[in-house]
Amino acid sequence: MKVSELKYERLTLEAFAQEIQDIIAQVKNAASAHEVMAARNRCNDLYIRLETAQALSYMRYSINTADEFYLAEKDYYDEMGPQAQNYLQEYTKAMLATPFRKELEESGQIIPLVFRSFEVELKAMSPEIIEDMIEENKVVSQYSQLMAAMEFEFRGEKLPRPMLMKHAKSPDRATRKEAYEVLGKTLQAHSQELDSIFDQLVHIRDRMAKKMGYKNFVELGYYRMGRLCYGPEEVKQFRDNVRRDIVPLVARLRTEVAKNLGVDKLMVYDYDLIFPQGDPAPKGGKEEIFAAAKAMYHDMSKQTGEFIDFMLETEAFDVESRKNKWGGGYCTSFMAYHQPFILANFNGTAGDVDVVTHEAGHAFADYSIANNKYVVELNMGGMETAETHSMSMEFFAWPYMEHFFGEDAGRYKFMHLLDALSFLPYGTIVDDFQRQVYENPDWTPEERKAAWRKLEEEFRPHICFDGVPYLEEGTRWQYQMHIYESPFYYIDYCLAQTAALQFLLASRKDYDDAFGRYVRLLSQGGEQVFTDLLAEAGLKSPFQEGALQEVARESEKLLDSLKASL
């Protein structure tokens, strides 16, 4: 069945409440571990129905944010979701309190990690914050709709942001500069709304945290991310690793790029370009990219071949950029149908290929663990694990880049690796900015922007924003959707990038061995925590002091090798 044909049916709060309350009673009154398992299975089936309805309605809203029916459905789940979560929390409490917990764990019917995840869930939500959660969802929707509807007037055309940013990679510096000026001026025209929306979100989240007894939202934010093996202190160590071992390397590499571009000072509008003649772009459009992806995945393994056939046959991609379409990219899954789906905005750049590697990495994981017995409780693990799946797939696709870029495959690999390293300081800025903001919820918009500027100076000292309208004020974060929509998510990309880089370096020595370890990691879903998965795969934890030294050293050697072959 094609994704467009999947049946959507609203799950009402009344129907959900009636069934979940019956399940909770079944857990509490269970006379055996077998009866607890029967209730658990009923709850998982109910959860799958809820998640499928939410995901389908959000997908159809995001492909057209002006669709009144699916906008209303999304709004419904924004309000219903926190109330359903409160009922699920009562189920979680009942499961943790069952006298059959030890028997369930020791018999292997439910692994201990499930109960650990339940304990974290209880720390992430409380009935007293339901109204705040509903309000948070509504304000996030305001931001999403604002960004999706925003048009950028560039040389007589009104463009969505993804299409505008295509011009940021132009070999012509004047064009790049103009694109960033349009970006800044358009954001500035909406600055009051952007500041107001974020201020509301910060105070809503701070209020929730304090109602639950936390000092600020940082601690609650980590629990909401469901992190089971690290916290703020480990992330601080990671930030220190990036500052010490990655920032100087990226500054050195990017300064060299600036020289090659013939610019004395690397401006923000120079940052998207690596090669003076223009960065490599796919040799074809949508049809050619998908044909190349199909050939790649069939050659990669039997399982990946079956996966890409399934995705193409079910038309599980929406990649054309258009007005009122959500401006980012994502992979989701409709659990009841075992169906992954990918949304993106093709714009003719190398980013289009990333869709069939990065987002397809997510989808392949979804496809691979669809029947995992813990897929409801543990999914594929934390978001850092999910992003490891996708970012690593980008690198395992390297041997096939000639299919996408032809003779420019070598230049693509150089650009890809440099961008991957360059991302680590940026992602760290995003994370530390959020920490500072939520530790200081009463900051003014000007204080928030000053904090961003200071972090840019610390982690990306080689970039200059001077003279670029609005962005020079320290507002780059305002179109980083995760900051508004998914607080504390962004560091997961950075943690995953370190694992992906290690897989890349390993694959250069023994591709089959590295790919086998990757598939093994991916196929376990969330049955092990991130650090244990890395250890089993032979990768270093990013939280170890000095963990990035070898990554930096070996990545620089690889870049030198790639450059020599260009």
pLDDT tens digit sequence for 207-251: 999 999 999 999 999 999 999 999 999 999 999 999 999 999 999
Can you give the pLDDT at residue 13? 96
d(Cα 70, Cα 528) in Å, to the nearest integer?
36
Dihedral sign for Cα 42, 46, 49, 52, please: negative
Can you give the pLDDT at residue 347? 87
Can you give the pLDDT at residue 432? 98
**Which two tokens mark 317?**
């991609």
Can you give the pLDDT at residue 323? 85
Core vs surface per residue 247-275: b (16+ CB within 10 A) or e:
bebbbebbeebbeeeeeeebbbbbbbbbb
Can you give the pLDDT at residue 328? 78
- For the chain (566 residues), the mean pLDDT of every run of 10, in chain order, is 96 97 98 98 98 97 93 94 95 98 96 97 95 96 92 95 92 97 97 98 98 97 96 96 97 96 96 95 95 98 98 97 86 97 93 95 97 95 96 98 97 97 98 98 98 98 96 97 96 98 98 98 96 97 93 97 93
For helices 383-396 and 491-509, give the axis angle rounded to 10 degrees.
40
pLDDT tens digit sequence for 501-549: 999 999 999 999 999 999 999 999 999 999 999 999 999 999 998 899 9
Can you give the pLDDT at residue 329? 87
What number of residues does the chain have? 566
**Ramachandran angles phi, psi of 407, nearest 5°:** -70, -10
Cα 40–44–47 angle (5° rounding)? 135
For residue 264, the one-letter residue type is: D
Can you give the pLDDT at residue 489? 95
- From residue 27, alpha-carbon distances to 19, 41, 223, 300 in Å are 13, 11, 25, 45
Can you give the pLDDT at residue 162? 86
Can you give the pLDDT at residue 30? 98
- Write down the mean pLDDT value for the chain: 96
**SS3 state of residue 333:** strand
Element (H, E) at 356: none
